[in-house]
Structure 1
Amino acid sequence: MTSEESVRERMASGLKVSFVSQVLYVVANAGLIVVLTRYLLTPEGYGLLSFALSILGVTQLFLGLGLAKSGARFVTEYIESDETQVRHIVRTTLLYVGVATVVVSVVFWAVGGRLAGLLGRPAVEPFLAVGVGYLALYPFAIAVRLLFNAFNRVEWSGVFRTVDGVVRFVFAAGFVLAGFGAVGALYGYLAGFLVSAVLGLVVFYRRFYRSLPTGGDPESGLRRRIARYGVPLTVTSGADVLDKRVDMVLVGVLVNPVAVGYYTLAKQIADFAIVPARSIDTTLAPRLGERKASDQGQSASRIYESALRHVLLLYVPAGVGLALVAEPTIRYVFGANYLDAVPLVQLFGVLIVIDAVNQITTNSLDYLGRGRERAIANGGTSVANFVLNLLLIPAFGALGAAVATVVTHAGYTVINVSYIYREFPFRVRRLLFESGVVVGISAGMGAIVYYARTFVSGLPSLLAVIALGGAVWAALAVYSGLLDTRLVESVLS
């Protein structure tokens, strides 16, 4: 087997596991959203839950998740060069995350009630009281997944992500049905984090940590380097959080929680579509880091080219399709009460293309040692996003927040791709030509879906139109030669 074939097989194996786990997680999360929006909660109740989650999401930027990413990056490096240091790295990482979590949780517990009043939404105060537990458990659920990824065991990371989603669905729906209302749904999130974090740490300790070499003192300056590299990653994580959550907070403050519910629903639909890109990213980022460490720049360039080509081939048509079927999807899946979310879903058809490219690029930069540069870019675009939100939301409501998100994410993605190009120059002209072919495929598929959607009268006919669009896309993608059928066969086999 050639080196290139070996890389393809290893990536296909990782993609398969990651994709399955992502799909299971998304199915559980989508099921919860459908149950909450269509059956259990009113738009106001769902909006309050979404508003509370957005506030907690902004608070996450202080939780030290950048330190967890930094620790994962050093694990990836030292597991190849000096395994005796890996135990020290793991312990230091969990200690840093634990200290940050305790500090943030205590502060939030002290100010949560006042915060609800300052935001002018006292109805959200009960959610923020429960949110202390959310902030205390979430970092460890994420840290353990990052450690599994660092050991190149994405299957375990996927397992506990799935556990999180399934437990969340069962307990959130259960607490709402038991009479706890929308606040009960938030208890479901806590249950998911708790079970996945505890089980994940137990498995990590027994299967990986105990087998590591025990001899040797920590390398001089290692803890300081983990903390120092964690600073830009924390800034980046914070900027990511602001990009994803601050718009929801501003919509809740400047408009109302019901608008937050519409906006959140549209964003979650877009997030569901990003699953394949997340699967590629989970496998791609460590692989590029390995190639840089072994001075195999050309191999890394070809790997990234292939990932980018397939992401564009999948997501440009997906964005077109999402915009075309947005109205029947909202009507027949989530209910007519949420039809005000349709324009947001259509605009986010553009966002999923941008975010898919960004998804396979940003984490790769962290593994390549470009965390500082990414942090600067992310910080700048996050500030721009915040300013645009303040300007557009009062005039256009939630749609203004969506426009701000699309514009700033596009700029951030271009910057990140340019950093990858500096590390591993790829064939720009070839990618531009292939992108033109992708646009042609999207136009052909879109024309068929545009005509066929006039026959949609319920969920079965909607699914049939989506399947028709997928079949047209697959035929055109294979005929064009852009789809690597060998990779697809490896993933599906």
Structure 2
Amino acid sequence: MREVTGRSSAAPEAGDQQVRGMARGGVLNLGSAVLSQVALFLVMLLLARVLGVRELGRYAQVYAVLSLLGLLSLSGFRAGLTRFVAVHLADDEPAALRGAIRLGIGISAVASTVIALGLAVGAPWLADALHDPQLTTGLRLAALCLPAATVCEAALAATRGWRTQRAYALIGQVYEPAARLVLTALALVLGAGLTGAFWALVAASWSAAGLALVALARMVRRVPAARPAYRPGELFRFSTVSWVSSLSSTGLIWVDALLLGFFDYGPDAIGVYHVATRLVTIAVFVLAPVNASFGPHLAHLYHQGRLDEVRRIYRVATGWVLRLSLPAFVALLVFPEQLLRLVGGPGLAGGAAVTVVLALGQLVNAATGPCGTLLNMSGRVSVNMMDNLAALLLNVLLNLWLIPAYGILGAAVAWAVSLAAVNVARVWQVRTQVHTVPVTPGMVKGLVAALVAMGVGFGVRWLVEGGTAQLAVGLAAIVVAYLAVVLALGLSREDVMVLRSVTRRNGRRVPADPAGPADGAGVGADRPVVRS
């Protein structure tokens, strides 16, 4: 990696261009993430309403296994492919770019196939360990999904190295969830039950993988022809550490559901916990699309030593994440019972305390922004790895202590405490590295607006009776109050610039970045539309 000198860009307009480029990708990511979360929420709603919370709990356990093994199969190449494609484009090295993509895709495909065979053979044993033999079929179908899901993730990660989010958004965030929703609904209509829902997951995964490979091949064809140059050392060093880090991070998300199964709490409790976690995940859905848009720009800027711009887009990205998430968090804190009833009926209202605890943990995650992405894309993957390992260890220890005594509430406390602790640590590490913290006047204004909106929400809860009417009026009042206070307090310069950038019409473009293309261009690349 080049030495980072801390030099700033030649003109403020260079930094503005990076913010605009990130905004265009981020807006596409955000729109696609909304569609993705809606689709996944509807899948959960269908399973809960048609099959019941017990079957939803089984679906959640199988999906937890698939997610963990997917990270194990990917071997860290998701972050590695994004970073090294971006770096090789910045350095004008098409041969190295082609070699990195072939290594990453090939090794991920082989590893996922081997692990899938192991899961298929060991499915009965794992189902017994989770105290539910009926999971065997679902685990075997998850094994069938695994190679496709892994290759899809790897291919889409590589496309993001061009600093365009189009393929990642349209395929990973729109097509795959939408296909899963449609096929799941069809399976349930035909009476195929939970097994049909797992087959829907298989079909959606394999078709998405095919589309992702086609999208990546089209982008590679834009790069000048060159014989692939393989540099396995640098890719493996980065990806191995990133693999441990990602596996630990994903484990932090899913280990609760698996430990609840090992403690024999049963699919009913796991189903309630899954609904609560899905609601909280929806609240912070904006973090993933902003991270996806932020990462390639950060890798490009940090590689060129443009630290002033790194600091700026980090603060801007964090502000977007928090302010766009706050209305949803307010809704979760004010109306947890009503939201749970909306999904699974009165039987889920007992998970209200779980929802509130999980929401508080994710609120800290949103407020600290893409600090983990900054560590990864600036080459500090070993630091991020240690953070994630420490958080996973803390989560497991807290789960072993709290689940036997408090059940799903104990699991929620363990997860929230672990998530908050690791993100506070990362903020301190980022401050040490790039000498900035993600606190801006815009964030303070957003928190003030959230407090006002919360007061309005509790007022509606006190004045309006009836679950459905109370929730509908309350959600509308929260959004209106939040937006009104934000606008009354005023938008920042970056906010105005971003709004103007993403609302441009008739093909108008912002001026070119003096240091290189900002949104998707690279070696021999055409300027793409946008995507996340």
TM-score interval, smaller chain: over 0.9
- Out of 200, 222, 228, the position equivalent to 2:212 is 200
SS at match of 2:192: helix
Tell me, in whole angstroms, the C-alpha distance in 2 between the residues paired with 1:14 and 1:58. 28
Could you say which residue in structure 1 is the equivalent of 2:175?
163
Amino acid at match of 1:303: I
Structure 1 equivalent of residue 351 of structure 2 = 341
Shift in alpha-carbon separation, 1:200–1:466, aligned structure 2, 3 A: same
Which amino acid is the alignment partner of residue 94 of structure 2?
A: E
SS of equivalent residue, structure 1 residue 350: helix
On the 8 A contact 2:321/2:369 being kept in 1, the answer is no
The yes-or-no answer on 1:446 pairing with 2:454 is yes
TM-score (norm 1): 0.93
Partner of 2:415: 405
1:149-228 to 2 correspondences below 5 Å:
149-161=160-172, 162-205=174-217, 207-216=218-227, 218=229, 222-228=231-237
Would you say the 8 A contact 2:322–2:369 is kept in 1? no
2:261 is aligned with 1:252: yes
2:286 to 276, 294, 300: 276
Matching residue's letter, 1:84: A
Query: How far did 1:77 drift?
Result: 0.5
Q: Which runs of 5+ in 2 are unaligned?
A: 1-11, 505-532
Q: Which whole-Å CA distance do the structure 2 matches of 1:217 and 1:407 have between them?
A: 46
Conserved in 2, the CA contact under 8 Å of 1:92 and 1:223? yes
Q: How far is the alpha carbon of 1:438 from its aligned partner?
A: 4.2
Cα distance, 1:200–1:436 mapped onto 2, change above 3 Å: closer
* In 1: Cα distance, 2:369 partner to 2:120 partner: 33
Deviations 1:17-74 (A, max 9, x none): 1111111111211122222212x11111111111222233333342124123212211
- Name the structure 1 match of 2:60: 50
Tell me which moved more, 406-415 or 136-145.
136-145
- Counterparts of 1:90-169 in structure 2, within 5 Å, are 90-161=101-172, 162-169=174-181
Among 408, 418, 421, the residue aligned to 2:428:
418
8 Å CA contact retained: 1:301, 1:424: yes
Q: How far does residue 155 in structure 1 lie from its aligned partner after superposition?
A: 1.3
Q: Could you tell me whether the CA contact under 8 Å between 2:362 and 2:420 is conserved in 1?
A: no
In 1, are the aligned partners of 2:53 and 2:344 still within 8 Å (CA)?
no
**Higher fraction of helix:** 1
Instruction: Tell me how far apart the structure 2 counterparts of residues 146 and 186 of structure 1 sit (CA, whole Å).
Output: 25
The corresponding residue for 2:306 is 296
Tell me, in whole angstroms, the C-alpha distance in 1 between the residues paired with 2:498 and 2:440: 22
1:469 and 2:478 aligned: yes
Q: Distance in 2 between matches of 1:274 and 1:410?
A: 14
Report SS of the residue matched to 2:286: helix
Corresponding position of 2:238: 229
Deviates more, 1:308-317 or 1:329-338: 308-317
Q: Is residue 392 of structure 1 aligned with residue 365 of structure 2?
A: no
Residue range with higher mean Cα deviation, 180-189 or 443-452: 180-189
Q: Deviations over 1:205-256 (max 9, x none)?
A: 1x2122323324525xx11221121111110111012101111011122111
Q: In 2 relative to 1, CA 185–477 (structure 1 residues): closer, same or farther, beyond 3 Å?
A: same
| Residue 441 of structure 1: how far off its partner (Å) | 2.7
Whole-angstrom CA distance in 2 between matches of 1:125 and 1:187: 14
- 1:479 alignment partner, one of 488, 491, 500: 488
Matches within 5 A, 1:294-333: 294-333=304-343
Q: Secondary structure at the match of 2:221?
A: helix
Q: Which runs of 4+ in 1 moved over 4 A?
A: 432-438
Measure the CA separation in 1 of the matches of 2:440 and 2:407: 36
Percent of aligned positions that are identical: 22
Mapped partners of 2:426, 2:225: distance in 1: 39
Aligned residues: 487
Amino acid in structure 2 at the alignment position of 1:59: L
> Could you tell me whether the CA contact under 8 Å between 2:327 and 2:479 is conserved in 1?
no
How far is the alpha carbon of 1:358 from its aligned partner?
5.5
CA distance in 2, matches of 1:234, 1:95: 16
Q: CA deviation at 1:94?
A: 0.7
Which one has more relative contact order, counting CA pairs under 8 Å at least 6 apart?
Answer: 2
Paired amino acid for 1:140: V
5+ residue gaps, structure 1: none
Residue 367 of structure 1: aligned partner: 377
- Decide whether the 8 Å contact of 2:460 with 2:470 is kept in 1: no
Matches of 1:275 and 1:481 in 2, distance apart?
A: 25
2:47–2:55 Cα contact (<8 Å) kept: no
Distance across 1 between alignment mates of 2:433 and 2:491: 25
Amino acid at match of 1:166: A
**Whole-Å separation in 1 of the counterparts to 2:271 and 2:182:** 21
Describe the shift of the 1:175–1:246 C-alpha distance in structure 2 as closer, same or farther (beyond 3 A).
same
- Asked if the contact 1:68/1:94 (under 8 Å) is kept, the reply is no
**Residue type at the aligned position of 1:187:** W
**Alpha-carbon distance in 2 for matches of 1:184, 1:171:** 8
